[in-house]
Structures are given as structure tokens and as C-alpha cells.
Amino acid sequence: MTGPRAGPRAGRAGPGAAPGRRAGTAGAVARSAVHASAASPLGASNPRQEGPTDLRLVPPALAAWLASAVALGTPGGAAAWTAVGIAVLGALLLVAGRGRRRGAGLAAATATALLCASAATAVAALHAADGHRGPLPALAAEHARAVVELRITGDPRTIRPHVRGAARAPDAVLVEADAVRVTAHGVTTEIRTPVLVIAETAASAMRVPGRPTGPESRWGARPAGPVPAGEGASAPSGAPWLGLLPSTRVSVTARIAPPARPGERSAAVLSVREPPRVIAPPTATQRFAGRLRAGLRAATDGLPPDARALLPGLVVGDTSRLTPELREAFEATDLTHLTAVSGSNLTIVLLLLIGPPGLALRAERRGLAPRIGLPLRATAVVGGALTVAFVIVCRPDPSVLRAAACGLITLLAIGTGRRRALLPALAAAVLLLVLYDPWLARSYGFLLSVLATGALLTISPRWSAALRRRGVPARAAEALGAAGAAQAVCAPVIVVLAGQVSLVAIPCNLLAELAVGPATVLGFGALAAAPFAMPAAEWSAWLAGWPTGWIAGIARRGAALPGAAIGWPGGWGGALLLATLTAAVVATGRRLTARPWLCAAVALLLLLAVLRPVSLPRVITGWPPPGWRLAMCDVGQGDSLVLSAAGGSAVVIDAGPEPALADRCLRSLGVTSVALLILTHFFSPWF
């Protein structure tokens, strides 16, 4: 006895064939094309199957992100009632969707997003309430003085000197910490409140020749061995704050003030003018991480200045040696993501271990793991340990946390035998991190990291494919697509922070990307070898100095171009304007590429805007007037006088508090050298 077949009937597909059969035939044809176009004479072993993007986790992640950002600035009672209301609405929608056949999937997705938003609202409200309880808010309102015991939670960092009124503001160090005990008005209270410490210190105490000034100079400056726990009750002279590692406990006498803006993570700002008294050393883990970072700095001591300053920042985010000029060059060329540890650093480390993730579950998997005989699950465990160590050494910055969460989800997928889905992994990482630390929802660094990663996963492949269809080589198309996509989505956020748009960001990123991989790998080699074999670390750092110097040279040369960056309206209004303009350019891009002459004209205009010959601004704006003798430059505080001399030189009187303003004015005047500089104010930063 025979019954109806469960599957489709065998045979040739004709006009009346089922849609599923026709789709299968089309898929077979597509796979055959992939095999035929493969570089191997045997064809592709596992042609990539392009399917619909899995977006199910994206709405819950975005809902939790938005809810956390809003709830952190909402009063506790209102946030609690909002969380309950959203949860009830989500539950009702979920129950209503089960009774209907149509729209059940949409109802379930919406209900899931609402429930995640409710959970994020509740968690954010609890975090905000927990961080602002205790006596500190009341003491801050009184601007009272108190003895506060702190547990350092972040690396101390210096504030760039600036001019305040008619005098130079004192140098200061910013330290993020948790206040664990406060003594005021004769009462001692145990608390756990996040605070921001502003420690004023003399300029001479900030820079001591021959002494490390990074965050590990106190407990990790000697790569040969850790500092004993009971050694040295106070930081070395000259760097009392910069030498503190996270988890160190100190006691200070401080003036307590409220935060600059409501809704900030820190419940109070502590102004300190005395060195801290160390009452407990950092943990062994932090001391070891400090030794690694200090060892990397020691290994780079013999490199040229730019490479010596940049390599620690490229590997572990240590920017203590970056000069203001090099920092400004990286900002003008949008290369600052290289000095802040990001997902690319962790990606390079994991690629060395597991190879390309697409091959991780196959017999031909690559990387170091199969070469040393590690099975899949052991590879996932080792990768997880490397990820945790990466976070400890590089510090849990927003971009590092995002990269670590994505990496751990990927390793879990490898260990359990499930293929990785990149976009769902990113959405899951965002959701988990926002629930773990709601303050990330208000972090610009976290926003830039997620936007760049999302653009690389969604927009970049399409743009790369479009470039390949127009005859661009595959590798060049992938690089152009990645750089263009990241710049397109991140530029509006950068405008909010910097108020300018870089015209050289894409070419500078493309050129710098050639050296990022070798510099990072060799830098991590120096980092790992420094505590055990300093000569090997110095040799690895010397090799890394070549690509690192290349990156610094790209930044300096790009920033030196007259039109490297243009001013743009700041704030979210300027960001919306730039995003709208970018969308319009992308929408009309296909039409532009169909007209080569128009593309050439646009490229020529962009080139002129970047190079900006001296005669071009004069034709357009009439500035500077021909034969000028005396000019006054607005330098932020008063004016700078410029007297023209022969051969493009000039006599400059005063420079103002911001060198960039004076430099921009001199460039617009066509001044190439300063014959004489006269300073009439002792507080000029050029002094």
C-alpha cells in the first residue's frame, strides 16, 4: 500500500513545479556558479549560503539600550512604574498574540522587545539609586570637606592644561573610583558610591625625567618582578596619582561637590590637593596586568618618539606617552580608534588562535589551535581565557567589553558546535552588556563601537560587492567598503563630540590599516615576552616600531593637509544634518557612478578642498588680501598679531591658549615659517 509522498516528487522542474522546487533548483544553480568561480580547480568546498539576515535580537537590544539611557535620568519612582507598565503591556501583547494565527510572530517579537525594555528600565533605575544613596549626595550639596576612603576603579588620566581667566589652570588628574567609607562631621559611614576624583598637582610632579608616568608606575614599573604588597605606603614623588592601579584603596581629604550635570554615573566630585595615602595595594591580577603594561612601555623605550608613544596605545590602550600634537593628528584624521583598544585587537588575537571563524567547525580549520592539537571545546576554553585576560590587561572600556562579549558568544558557538551568526552575536552582546552595566547606554565609545561593528556586518559587504561588480579588485573593494561604511555611520557621532568632519579619514584609514595587523601582533608579542625575556620583547617591539611609525606618519601627513578637517555644526542637530547628507549621497551614488565625468568632477572638488591651495581661498573669500602686512588672528583669548616678512615668514606676537587656532590662521595667511615669536603673556601654552 502506498500513500502520499512526504517530500516533493522527483523529476524535472517544469513551469508548474512547486515554488520550493524552483527555489531549490535556483539554489543549486547558484552553488554551481560559486564552485565554477572558485580559485581552486576542485571548486569551493563549502560555498557560502546567503540567506535572510537574522534580526530577531536587534529590536530587543535596541529597546533595552534606549530604555536604559532614558531610565538613568528618570526619578526612581517614575522609572519603577514605567518598568511595570511596559512589562504588563508586553505580557498582554504576548497573551493576545497566542490566540491569533496571523500576526502572532510580530506580536511575540514586539512583546519580547517590551519585556527587555522593562527589564532594562528596572536595572537602570536600581543602578542609579544604588549609586546615589548614602551621605555623599547631601555632603556634595553642602560642598563639605570629608575624609573619604576610595577603591580605584579606572586608570588615572591627566587633564590637558588650559587657561583659566588670566592664569594657567593647574595640572590635574582624573580618577574614577568607588567611595567605600566617608568620615564627615565626626560620623563614619560604610558606603559604595561611584565618584570622580579631580586631583590637582604641580606640573613638576606630573613629569619626572626617567620615571614612568603611566598608570602602572607605582605597582608595575619593574617588569622583573611585582612590588611587594607592603612596600611603599605612598606613591613615588612626582606621580602620586598616576601611579595607582585599579583596585588600590586610598584615603584622601577632599572637598565634595555635586556632579557637573544631573544623571551622571558619579554621585559626587571630589577635589583633592594632597597626595593619596595608600592603605591597601591592588590585587595580584591587577599587579600582573600592570607589570605587562609597564613591561611593554619598557620594551619600547628605545624606539623613535612616535612609535614609542603609539605602540602601547595600539596594543593595550595606554596613551600616556602620546604628545598633544600626535593626539591632534589622530583626531584630525579620525584614527583615534587605533589608540583606544577596540574589537579589532581582540579579533586579531582570536584569529591567531582559531583562524577564520567560518572554518572553525570544519576539518580544514586554521590557526594555532589545530597545530598544537587542541580540540574544539578546548579551543573555546582557551579563547575564553584569552578574552578575559585581554579585558583585564586592556581595561574594561566600552569597546573592549563589546568586543569581549561578541568574542565569548562566538567561542560558545564554536564550543557547542553551532555556527556563528555575527549580527545576532552583536545584538546579544549589546543586550547583555546594557543589562549588566546600564551606564554603557550613555557611553559615546560604546555607541561608536557598536555602530562601526554593525556597519562592517551589514553595509560593508554590500558596498564591497558593488565595487567588485564595477571591476575593483576583491581586496581593495573589501577595504574600501569597510572604511566607507564605518566612516558613514560614525561620522555623525564624531560631529557631536568634535564639531568637525574629516575629509581625509577614509584614505588615512585605508593606508593605516595596512600596518595595524603586523603592529598589533608584534606588539602583543612584546607584551607577553616582557616579564620573562626583555631582550625578546625589545626585539619584537623594534619590529613593531616600523609599522607603528608608518601609522603615525600617515596621521601626521594627513593632518598637515590644509583641508584635512572642516568645521561642522556640533550637537545632535549637526549630527542629523550630516546623517541626512550622507544618506542623500549614498542614494545618489549609483547614478553618479554611471557618469564617469561627474565622478571625476566630484573627486577634483574634494581634492581641491583637501589640498586647498593658498590662491584658492583668496579667489573664493578674498582672504588673505594680496600684499597684506598686518593681520589679527582670533585665537580664543584676545588676538594674535602677525606681521608679514619676506618669503612666507612672519613675526608673531602671542599665540593664545589653543595652538590649533593660531596654526590655522597662519596657514590661511600662507605663513610657512615664524621668524620671531614674541610672547607678552606668561601663561601662553607656547611658552
- Residues contacting residue 113 through CB under 8 Å, at least 6 positions apart: 59, 60, 62, 63, 90
- Identify the band that residue 508 occupies on the pLDDT scale cut at 50, 70 and 90: very high
Q: What are the pLDDT digits (tens) for 263-308?
A: 788 889 999 988 999 999 999 989 988 899 899 999 999 999 999 9
Residue 439 has pLDDT above 70, yes or no: yes
- The Cα 378–Cα 417 span in angstroms is 12
Beta-strand pair 167-168/163-164: antiparallel
> Average pLDDT of 75-100?
85
- Identify the band that residue 616 occupies on the pLDDT scale cut at 50, 70 and 90: low
Q: Which of 366, 385, 132 is nearest to 265 (CA)?
A: 132
- Identify the band that residue 75 occupies on the pLDDT scale cut at 50, 70 and 90: confident
Residue 328 has pLDDT above 80, yes or no: yes
Give the Cα-Cα-Cα angle 379, 355, 406 (nearest 5 degrees).
70
Dihedral, CA of residue 62, residue 64, residue 68 and residue 69, to nearest 10? 10
Q: What are the pLDDT digits (tens) for 176-197?
A: 999 999 999 889 999 888 999 9
> Average pLDDT of 610-627?
69
Helix axes 422-436, 398-415, angle to 10 degrees: 130
Helix axes 376-394, 284-299, angle to 10 degrees: 80
Beta-strand pair 249-257/500-502: unpaired
Distances (CA, A) of 331 to 63, 196, 327, 495, 502: 32, 25, 6, 12, 9
> Average pLDDT of 576-587?
90
Q: Within 13 Å and on the Cβ side, how many CA atoms surround 413? A: 20
> Average pLDDT of 639-657?
86
Instruction: Name the CATH architecture for the domain at 136-225+240-282.
Output: Beta Barrel (2.40)
Q: What is the pLDDT of residue 394?
A: 82
- The Cα 86–Cα 92 span in angstroms is 10
Q: What is the pLDDT of residue 200?
A: 81
Write out 542-590 in H/E/C secondary structure. Answer: HHHHHHHHHHHHHHHHHHHCCCCEEECCCHHHHHHHHHHHHHHHHHHHH
> Average pLDDT of 451-479?
87
Residue 121 has pLDDT above 90, yes or no: yes
- The Cα 488–Cα 587 span in angstroms is 13
- Identify the band that residue 413 occupies on the pLDDT scale cut at 50, 70 and 90: low
Q: What are the pLDDT digits (tens) for 22-31?
A: 444 444 444 4
> Average pLDDT of 438-455?
88
> Which residues, listed in sequence order, are joined to residue 277 by a DSSP beta bridge?
251
The pLDDT > 70 percentage for the chain reads 77
Q: What are the pLDDT digits (tens) for 239-253?
A: 688 889 999 999 999
Residue 102 has pLDDT above 90, yes or no: no
> Average pLDDT of 567-578?
88
Residue 233 has pLDDT above 50, yes or no: no
Q: Between 522 and 161, where is the model more confident? A: 522
Through-space distance between the first and last CA atoms of the chain, rounded to whole angstroms = 101
Q: Between 434 and 601, where is the model more confident? A: 434
Q: What is the pLDDT of residue 355?
A: 64
Q: What is the pLDDT of residue 237?
A: 36
> Average pLDDT of 419-424?
67
DSSP string of 201-248?
Answer: --HHHH--TTS--STTTTTSS-TTSPPPTTS-SSPPTT-TTTTPPTT-
> Which residues, listed in sequence order, are joined to residue 37 by a DSSP beta bridge?
none
Q: Between 303 and 129, where is the model more confident? A: 303
Give the Cα-Cα-Cα angle 120, 124, 130 (nearest 5 degrees).
145
Q: What is the pLDDT of residue 182?
A: 94
Q: Which of 296, 346, 286 is nearest to 318 (CA)?
A: 296
Count of beta carbons in the 10 Å neighbourhood of residue 388: 12
Q: What is the pLDDT of residue 69?
A: 92
**Residue 45 — φ and ψ, nearest 5°?**
-75, -30
Among 156-170, 346-360, 514-528, which range has the highest average pLDDT? 514-528
> Average pLDDT of 149-176?
75
Are the C-beta atoms of residues 576 and 568 closer than 8 Å to each other? no
- Kindly state the DSSP code that residue 10 receives in the 8-state scheme: P
- Identify the band that residue 229 occupies on the pLDDT scale cut at 50, 70 and 90: very low
- Identify the band that residue 203 occupies on the pLDDT scale cut at 50, 70 and 90: very low
Are the C-beta atoms of residues 581 and 506 closer than 8 Å to each other? no
- Residues contacting residue 12 through CB under 8 Å, at least 6 positions apart: none
Give me the count of residues in the chain.
687
Q: Is residue 178 helix, strand or coil?
A: strand
